[in-house]
């Protein structure tokens, strides 16, 4: 068994761009180009250690979000099934609306473009992020809707009130039914 049999050579051609890139990488690693290609690219590829890199971080992020959405839907379905098994009736429409996982997009907001959550003309509170309206008919419902708005901001949007929202809610008092 001769040297050529034990150490066969492979020959292939690169384009100018790839050759230049390999030369730069080898120079940065302070190695000859041939040794760099063999030790850093071919050997890890043959051993299965070389993992293809995602072409774009957006693709990776989208796949993570899809996986998260699927997990949330599975949890929701498990909850619905457990409720049905326990109580023998399906979830009410209100509970379904509250528990169903939702994709909430928040618009980009600048500090100069702060909006008040209170609509003075119609006497109602509106979520600045997603647009859900909170209205009332009497004083008890008014207090309940203020509390629901606070829960909505923490549970759905996962954030604390802005200074403007906090000021509006502390200064807001019942002045009749909303339209």
The reported pTM is 0.38
For 126, phi then psi, to 5°, come to -130, 135
- Spatial distance between the Cα atoms of 9 and 98, rounded to a whole number of angstroms: 66
Nearest to 146 by CA among 127, 164, 163, 131: 127
Contact partners, residue 115, CB within 8 Å, separation at least 6? 128, 164
Domain positions in the chain are 12-47, 59-99, 111-171
The per-residue pLDDT for 7 is 82
- The contacts found for 23-28 with CB under 8 angstroms, 24 or more apart, are none
pLDDT tens, position by position, 75-133: 888 988 888 888 888 888 777 777 776 666 555 554 434 677 877 777 888 888 888 88
CA distances from 111 to 87, 115, 161, 163 (A): 48, 10, 14, 11
Q: Residue 125, Cβ neighbours under 10 Å: how many?
A: 25
- Three-class secondary structure of residue 124 per DSSP: strand
Q: Which residues contact 174 (CB under 8 A, 6 or more apart)?
A: 136, 139, 142, 143
- The answer to whether residues 162 and 112 touch, using CB atoms and an 8 Å cutoff, is no
How confident is the model over 145-162, as a mean pLDDT? Answer: 84
- Residue identified by tokens 């647009």 is 131
Residue 39's contacts (CB-CB under 8 Å, 6 or more residues apart) are 31
Q: What is the mean pLDDT of residues 22-44?
A: 91
């Amino acid at each position: 068994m001769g040297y050529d049999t034990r150490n066969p050579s492979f020959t292939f051609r690169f384009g100018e761009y790839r050759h230049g890139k390999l030369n730069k990488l080898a120079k940065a690693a302070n190695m000859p180009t041939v040794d760099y290609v063999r030790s850093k690219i071919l050997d890890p590829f043959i051993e299965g250690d070389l993992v293809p890199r995602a072409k774009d971080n957006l693709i990776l992020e989208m796949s993570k979000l899809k996986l998260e959405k699927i997990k949330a839907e599975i949890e929701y379905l498990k909850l619905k099934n457990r409720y049905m098994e326990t109580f023998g009736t399906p979830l009410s429409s209100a509970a379904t609306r509250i528990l169903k996982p939702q994709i909430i997009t928040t618009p980009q907001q600048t500090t100069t473009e702060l909006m008040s959550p209170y609509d003075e003309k119609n006497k109602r509170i509106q979520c600045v992020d997603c647009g859900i309206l909170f209205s009332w008919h009497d004083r008890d419902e008014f207090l309940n809707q203020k509390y629901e708005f606070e829960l909505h901001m923490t549970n759905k949007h996962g954030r604390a009130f802005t200074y403007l929202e906090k000021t509006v809610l502390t200064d807001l008092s019942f002045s009749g039914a909303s339209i």
